[in-house]
Structure 1
Amino acid sequence: MDRLEAMHLFVRVAELGSFAAVAQQLGVARSVVTRQVAALEAHLGSKLMVRSTRRLTLTSAGSAYLEKCRVILNLVEAAETDIAAEQAAPRGPIRLGLPLSFGVRRVAPLLLDFAARYPEVSLDMDYSDRRMNLIEEGIDLAIRVTRQLGPGDVARKLGTSHMKVVASPDYLARHGRPQVPADLSDHAYLGYTLAGRSDVLFIQNGASVGVPVRSRINASNGEVLVEAAVRGMGITCHPDFIVDDYLADGRLVQILENHATPALGIYAMLPTNRQVPHRVRVLMDFLADSLGKHEPGAPAMARLPKS
């Protein structure tokens, strides 16, 4: 039995609550995972998990052992990271979680450049606007565009995006141009459902204020809503990386530009349960340098363990 490998599998099973899920994630047979954990229990002379048809739970010994395993595996990863940092180039797999629009428009070309520069790194990219569970899905690094991080998030800020309220010249010619945020309530709005809001946020006197809107069309993808706006079907509000090309060629017009909207942070998100591999750190540095949007005076890292 490879004890470190068995400990690694035990931690994964404990976090996912399933032998089958770990086997699927690693691309091995379920029996490989169960044998390793069983061998670890035999070596320790103690039951670590109680298995039933519906669920898997840790014993008291298993819970205590889990925390010690995490510490040990992090130390091993840190030692290997230090050695890897001294080598000429990063190597190994990186699984990435990327938002659709920003991921395809801004990050994908950079990732292809990174792959060309570091041929010993392999990239597995998952594009989705849903919020991913980095630990359960085996994500090494995710890009998130958000107004606010959650408690305990481990992240590095890469830059900032700004929301812009837009409409087509045709729509404004037919329905008039809003002069103040409150005017949006009288217009057809194209709503982004993943925002989980039925209003549009503006900054007034240093605080975020929501303006209620009537959504004529809703979608979970910003590109669809911007296309609807181009066709004169309503007003919408989206980040600059989605609308700037449309503004540049005149298909859309920015409105209420003198009324500030909340900024969005662009973050590299990391799992909370493991040491950051050297290859992932190199990728984060590459993305930060390539995006060229460092925030003066802002901390580069939040809760990021040092290698």
Structure 2
Amino acid sequence: MDRLDSMRCFVRVAELGSFSAVAQQMNMARSVVTRQVAALEAHLGTKLIARSTRRLSLTSTGVAYLEKCREILGLVEAAEAGLNDDQQAPRGHLRISLPYSFGIHQLMPMFGDFMVANPDISIELEFSDRRANLFEGGFDLAIRIASRLEPGDVARKIGHSQGVVVASPDYLLRHGRPQHPSELIQHACFGYLLTVRASWAFVIGGETQWFPITSRLEANSGDALLAAAIQGLGISYAPTFIAEQAVREGKLEIVLANFPSPELGIYAILPSNRYVPHRVRALIDYLAQRIGHAPVWDEILRMA
């Protein structure tokens, strides 16, 4: 048994959740993948993967061993790449967790350009606005948007965005334009389900203040809430990267422009602060360069 090959098979099975998918991706028979993992379990004297007719799941030992395998394989990759890997073209597979709206509308074109420029890179994307467990999910990287990081996060800030309060011209004509955040309680507002507070934050006098809202519609999708605002159903508090196109097209107007929202950071979060593969560093550098310090979506703030 080649221990490293078996580890690679085990890591891919853990990430893809299927022996058949790994066999197809690695261009080998499914029986070979099964034997590799079985041989590894026999060598270790413990089960790493719990098998059932419907799905595969890692045992507690498998979860712990997966982290170690990734670390070892990362070090092997670093050794093989040499000290000058920055001069080499990135290659390999990237598994990434990213938020729905920002991922689809903003990141997908960037990923496409990155793959065209790096033909030896393959990418697997999982969209979710909830925080992913990077180790258990087998992710190389997560892109997250937040006002602050969680304790223990290993992250690099690659950009920023702000929130804007938007409503359709029709809604504002029928219900009036709020002049101060305290007036939002009198309007039909939309609540984002992953936000705990039934209130919106604004920076006033250099301090963040929260103002209550009357939530007429709630959803876990920023795109859905934006669509409702375009229909004239109420007022939405949306990140600029979601509201950008509708504002440019005149479907929505920015209100309360004199009361900015707290800045949201766009972060690349890593599973650990140990060795970061060249392909991961290359993608992070690329995204940071594309997003930059003056992202295009924040240009609508000057239109208000």
Change (3 A) 1:294 1:242: closer
Corresponding residue for residue 247 of structure 1: 247
Partner of 2:272: helix, strand, or coil? coil
CA distance in 2, matches of 1:120, 1:12: 17
What residue in structure 2 maps to residue 102 of structure 1? 102
Provide closer, same or farther for how the CA distance between residues 11 and 116 of structure 1 changes in structure 2, counting only shifts above 3 A: closer
1:143/1:25 Cα in 2 relative to 1: closer, same or farther (>3 Å)?
farther
Quick check: 1:40 aligned with 2:10? no
TM-score (norm 2): 0.79
Q: Deviations over 1:135-190 (max 9, x none)?
A: 22222222111111111112111111010011112111211211111111111011
Q: Distance in 2 between matches of 1:55 and 1:133?
A: 14
Partner of 2:189: 189
Verify: 1:212 aligned to 2:212, yes or no: yes
Q: 1:156 maps to which residue?
A: 156
Retained in 2: the 8 A contact 1:171–1:233? yes
| Coordinate RMSD, CA, aligned | 3.4
8 A contact 1:198–1:212 mirrored in 2: yes
Distance 1:185 1:162 in 2: 22
Instruction: Decide which moves more: 157-166 or 207-216.
Output: 207-216
Cα 1:72–1:93 change in 2 (3 A) is: closer
Name the SS of the counterpart of 1:135 in structure 2.
helix
| Counterpart residue type for residue 144 of structure 1 | R
- Mean Cα deviation higher: 252-261 or 85-94: 85-94
* CA pair 268-31 structure 1, distance change in 2 beyond 3 A: same
Q: CA deviation at 1:52?
A: 9.3
- Counterparts of 1:192 and 1:124 in 2: how far apart (Å)? 27
> Measured at CA, do residues 191 and 257 of structure 1 come closer, stay the same or move farther in structure 2, by a change above 3 Å?
same
- Within the alignment, does 1:172 sit opposite 2:160 as a pair? no
Provide the rounded CA distance (Å) in 2 between the counterparts of 1:241 and 1:271.
Answer: 26
Alpha carbons of 1:56 and 1:112: their partners in 2 closer, same or farther (altered >3 Å)? Answer: closer
User: Which deviations, in whole Å up to 9, do the C-alpha atoms of 1:34-85 show, x marking residues without a partner?
Assistant: 52333323xxxxx566999999455xxx98x999767644432332343671
Distance 1:51 1:245 in 2: 46
Q: Is the 8 A contact 1:70 1:273 kept in 2?
A: no
Q: Secondary structure at the match of 1:195?
A: coil
Alignment correspondent of 2:26: none
Change (3 A) 1:220 1:207: same
